[in-house]
Amino acid sequence: MTSTVKSETTKNKFEKFKAEKDGLAVKEELNYFAEIGWEALDKTDLEQRLKWLGIFYRPVTPGKFMLRMRTPNGILTSQQVKVLAEIVQRYGDDGSADITTRQNIQLRGVRLEDIPDIFSRLKEAGMTSMQSGMDNVRNITGSPVAGLDGDELIDTRNLVQKVQDMITNCGEGNPEFTNLPRKFNIAIEGGRDNSVHAEINDIAFVPAYKEGKLGFNVLVGGFFSSKRCEAAIPLNAWIPPTEEAVVGVSRAILEVYRDRGLRANRQKSRLMWLIEELGLEEFRNLVEQAFGQSLERAATEDVIDWDKRDHIGVQAQQQPGKSYVGLHVPVGRLTADDLFDLARLAEVYGESELRFTVEQNVIIPHIATENIDTFLTEPLLEKFSIEPEPLSRSLVSCTGAQFCNFALVETKQRALAVAKELESELNIPNDVRIHWTGCPNSCGQPQVAQIGLMGTKARKDGKMVEAVDLFMGGKVGKDAQLGSRVQKGIPCEDLPSVLRQILIDEFGATPK
């Protein structure tokens, strides 16, 4: 252990409460919590430790919790989707579900007294929310068309599932990895277009050929935070696309991070800070020691050589006579009825499978070619279009102030309203990726967008108003790069005119 890491003696408040009681411990107390009610809970259990189980207390909607699932590779069966629909349905107008930018799904309006029953139903359906919040590994992403794409290089589905199983003990909870210094993101890309945004993950596996053999180059350290954002850097390691290698290297990096990660200042507790503290070569040596064998040096180039696709519309699969259809879900918001309808479409037309994308959309695969025309007449496609307008198509938004106490502005409905206003006024020749995030935590990932909008407050006419900071220049797919902040404190009421001019000046839009 380096001297700097060893000298960290002061614990921040998060490290103190984790040392007092592991977050996973509240799993055994859920029945008791349900009996006494959320208002009687210990404050730290309520506001922090429940997140280890994916249960989030929301101060802006007291008594109505958010439940964050784990959806490895963004794949669910129609039966699983129906279980989720039934859960949110019981809460009426308070119940809804959001697709996240990590191919995941979050349920809203959940009552704590129902959690024991909900967890029983989730386990029966083969789902879990375990270790999906706070200082844990978040949902593991993979290509949304894994096993479908005729041009894919590596089918990531099993690898993603095995990494999740290792981290969560097959969904039961794994104390080995419940005390990381901070949250942690892993992505496994199997295609050519960087569908998982590899550059923003703490660990990313990206396809690469070495001496004619296909495997993964390993990237490390990508992250967003309120104080700093960094793209992942090469570990200078290549591994074969096997379960042993991918799971083993993931475990090794997590162990090094868990045991050596900086913990005094939470703003400096992400993996990149540790890599910089140790030096990349020393960090790599420690990973090799934890892995138990040396790592081959990286392939010269990876195979991320396509522009990024959004998977919307009808696309041919590698399976003859089958297609998948990508549906645009405006800012990822789903009702119980939407979930029931999506499950029905997957059963009637497909093979009872649905997939989520990091753009917050839904894919229904395995539709026979002869049934596509009938599928496209389904009423749900009037709401979830396969031909959305050029701003709506690539629009991404975090939860915003409606449900999140960190958000400084309302995002989802405002994002839709602004997009529709601009689409009504402008001819926009190409899709433009606009990402909204309600606060500097960057859940909406504005740094990967062509136009990124981050919630803040600004003064206008002597009053504090909702506003955004403007980011530009994010690029995804081949040669991905993070955008940078170019303007601060634009009042939200002035935003349409500002964006209108940007679309005309930078993206070739013309007035209608």
Residues that are catalytic: 68, 182-183, 438, 443-444
Q: Which residue has the tokens 């002869």?
A: 370
Contact 381, 361 (CB under 8 A): no
Strands (E), 113-174: 141-142
Residue from 434, 429, 417 nearest 493 by CA: 417
CA pair distance 59, 47, nearest whole angstrom: 9
Q: Where is 317: in which H helix or E strand?
A: none
Question: How many H helices and E strands in the chain?
Answer: 15, 24
CA pair distance 361, 345, nearest whole angstrom: 15
Tell me the β-bridge partners of 470. Answer: 453, 487
Relative orientation angle of helices 115-124 and 78-89, to the nearest 10 degrees: 170
- Is the C-alpha dihedral spanning 370, 373, 379, 381 positive or negative? positive
Contact 55, 119 (CB under 8 A): no
Residues in the chain: 512
Residue from 173, 183, 107 nearest 139 by CA: 183
Q: Following CA atoms 399, 400, 403, 409 in sequence, which dihedral angle do they give, to the nearest 10 degrees?
A: 180
Contact 156, 171 (CB under 8 A): no
Tokens of 7: 């000298």
Q: Which residue has the tokens 């039961």?
A: 172
CA distances from 470 to 207, 463, 473, 491 (A): 33, 20, 10, 11
Residues 6+ apart with CB under 8 A from 235: 218, 219, 220, 280, 283, 284, 287, 295, 298
CA distances from 137 to 95, 206, 427 (A): 26, 19, 42
Contact 304, 194 (CB under 8 A): yes
